[in-house]
Structure 1
Amino acid sequence: MPSPDNQNDRPSPPEAQRLRQEAVGWLARLSDREATIEDRLAFERWQSQSPAHARAFQSIAEVWHDPGLDRAARLVARADSVHDRESLAVRSRWKPALTVAACLSALLLGAVYFEVLTRLQADHQTSVGERRTVRLPDQSLVTLNTQSAIATAFDGTVRKVRLLKGEAFFKVQHDPNRPFVVEGGETTTRAVGTEFVIRQQDHGDRVTVIEGVVDVASRSREGTKERVSAGSMIESESGRLGQARPVDASMASAWLQGLLIVDDVPLAQVLEEIRRYHPGTIVLWNQQIGQRHVTGTYKLDDPSKVLYHLTKTFPLRTVSLADRLVLLF
């Protein structure tokens, strides 16, 4: 097993946040007096996936045992349920989970903001839940999705945009003398006049072409390039390009209208998407329900309302701390 101090084992910031969210769910699950041996075995499988998984759980567990934060969480639980006996019964059973939730809130309070380096590099950026359209010097349009940032570099020979974080839609003005190039985390996308979306994911980039044709190349594997046409998308993982495949372009770009459209998608995956637009942290404790599938159209401008509708669709209860951390169980 690699050394915990090996920097190559360190996950990206989005991946580290996801691991912390999963770790708090496991800590709540194992702290429940009804936890079973199957729960313990499932946790061991999760923790053994990588050193990063084990470190994430250890960091949350250390905060869990902080007596000051434990007392604070219990006070919050009592204050929230003074006038609601049913809520008090739920919170009484879930005090361990509430304690973890309070601890995780403290750990993740700054996670919704951009890293300082990204802020310094960015020419344009958006905050949580924000969308913004920017007109570039060549009259091309860029729409930034939630928590996204770009840097631009235009000269007489090339139009270059760097996607520093998040997701962006590009509507490119035709200019045969100056190619339009977008650098993602792992890919370079080259277009002349077209419309496409690039999204940075934990494992790599995803490029979806809405109109026209683009050439997508790997930044780390020289000579690796794929041509992607309208109605298709391509993803990279660890610098390796996959194969272009058909996609519903209207669904892939629905966020431009503030919508999330899903068709037979696991609930856990839907929640992963909603997290991008929610100002706090969402933790799904019931992993079995997370495998059940969802079909529907949801408004991303009100992620709390989306969560409410999902709890009415599935057998889920919620515990919320100031809407900054939502625990689904």
Structure 2
Amino acid sequence: MDNSHNADKAASGWYIALREDSDDPELRSAFEAWLAQDPQHRQSWQDINATARVMKSVPAMQRRKRQRGVRYGGYVAAMGMAAAACLATVLLVPDLMLRLRADYYAPPGMTRDIRLADGSRIVLAPRTALAVHVTPRTRQIELLRGEAYFIVRHDETRPFSVNAGPVTTTDIGTEFDARTDGSKTEVVVKEGEVHVSARSGLPFEKDLRAGNWAEISRARAATGYQSPDTIALWRTGTLVARDNTIGEMVAALQPWMHARIMVMHGSLMEKRVTGSYDLHHPEESLALIVRPYGGEIASFSPWLAVVSGH
């Protein structure tokens, strides 16, 4: 995701946290530090507050409409209500539009097991959304966001394919894991074989077998191998790091937490860790990941966990 999108999401988290506990000096200090880190942070904060002001002005608009009988007051008030709805969506239900598109969704901190009519099975990781399109001739899954593990009942007459961003994975009788965040898609095969192709960006076309993985974005395509025993361990509540950056670990933990994780020091994100962590206790796991480097976690509200470091 681009920096502006990340800053907008962070600004939403700060807005909620500050409204809940505006008198907390530690929270205010952490917020000021975040604000000073990047000009984009300040711009996103100004934008979220501008939208909030529109929301607060809606009752006044409605009163003026009643008092003055302004001809276009209804239109203005409607625009204000639309802005208010947008703010509520950004702050309280950021997954709303995605969930409206999805047939299945797994909420934060929970997995979901889906069994299709053809006998295939899909396990959704937390915050994962997908749509299912099944016809007498085809079986198409659209992974809208997140990570899912597929156990496919092979049927030569009806191909089983998973679209994730520009990447299509077609089953050749297999079990595989797919993950996408909108900018990058990863596919790794536990058993059997799949065919992976990219519809846009870098040209990519490859068959993957057990242990093979592919990572594809618009600017890069890479492949490699890992032990099949280590694939999709999230299904058992285990997160394994093998010289991964803290940034990568934070991204892996985020779907398992209700609070948004914010790391105040960018250098901390580049530190590397190795170990096994419990996804069923993500707050404790986050602490275990950052503390060896002096990282500390402050939970200012149910919506925001701030990681500070040296």
TM-score, length basis structure 1 = 0.68
User: Does residue 111 of structure 2 align to residue 122 of structure 1?
Assistant: no
From 247, 262, 278, the equivalent of 1:283 is 262
| 2:273 is aligned with 1:294 | yes
Task: Show the counterpart of 1:207.
Answer: 187
Kindly indicate whether the alpha-carbon contact (under 8 Å) linking 1:224 and 1:241 is maintained by their aligned counterparts in 2. no
Residue aligning to 1:245: 224
CA distance in 1: counterparts of 2:251 and 2:202, whole angstroms: 32
Distance 1:283 1:160, change over 3 A: same
- SS of residue in 2 equivalent to 1:288: helix
Q: Percent identity?
A: 26
Q: Report the counterpart of residue 226 of structure 1 in structure 2.
A: 206
Structure 1 residue 138, shift from structure 2 partner: 0.5
Q: Are residue 171 (structure 1) and residue 151 (structure 2) matched?
A: yes
Stretches of structure 2 lacking an aligned partner (at least 5 in a row): 15-29, 54-87
Cα distance in structure 1, aligned partners of 2:222 and 2:267: 31
Q: Deviations over 1:218-238 (max 9, x none)?
A: 123698421111101112212
1:58 aligned residue: 43
Q: Does residue 201 of structure 2 align to residue 196 of structure 1? A: no
**Distance between the aligned counterparts of 1:59 and 1:309, measured in 2?**
31
User: 1:221, 1:292 → 2: CA distance?
Assistant: 30
Q: RMSD between aligned alpha carbons?
A: 3.3
Task: Give runs of aligned pairs for residues 265-276 of structure 1, distance below 5 A.
Answer: 265-276=244-255
By how many angstroms is 1:157 displaced?
1.4
Unaligned 5+ segments in structure 1 are 1-10, 32-42, 48-53, 69-105
Match among 5, 17, 23 for residue 16 of structure 1: 5
CA deviation after TM superposition for structure 1 residue 143, in Å: 0.3
- The code of the aligned residue for 1:320 comes to S
Q: How many residue pairs align between the two structures?
A: 258
Question: Could you tell me whether the CA contact under 8 Å between 1:181 and 1:191 is conserved in 2?
Answer: yes
Corresponding position of 1:28: 33
CA deviation vs aligned residue, 1:79-115 (integer Å, no higher than 9, x gap): xxxxxxxxxxxxxxxxxxxxxxxxxxx996326x423
From 271, 293, 298, the equivalent of 1:314 is 293
Structure 2 CA distance for aligned equivalents of residues 225 and 300 of structure 1 = 33
| 2:113 is aligned with 1:133 | yes
CA distance in 2, matches of 1:250, 1:18: 37
Instruction: Provide the C-alpha distance between the structure 1 equivalents of 2:304 and 2:258, rounded to a whole number of angstroms.
Output: 9
Kindly state the Cα deviation for residue 153 of structure 1 after the two structures are TM-superposed.
Answer: 1.7
Q: Structure 1 residues 252 and 201 mapped into 2: Cα distance closer, same or farther (>3 Å)?
A: farther
Give TM-score, length-normalised by structure 2.
Answer: 0.72
Whole-angstrom CA distance in 2 between matches of 1:169 and 1:183: 13
**Which residue, out of 144, 147, 160, partners 1:180?**
160
Q: Which has the higher strand share?
A: 2
Name the SS for the 2:119 alignment partner.
Answer: coil
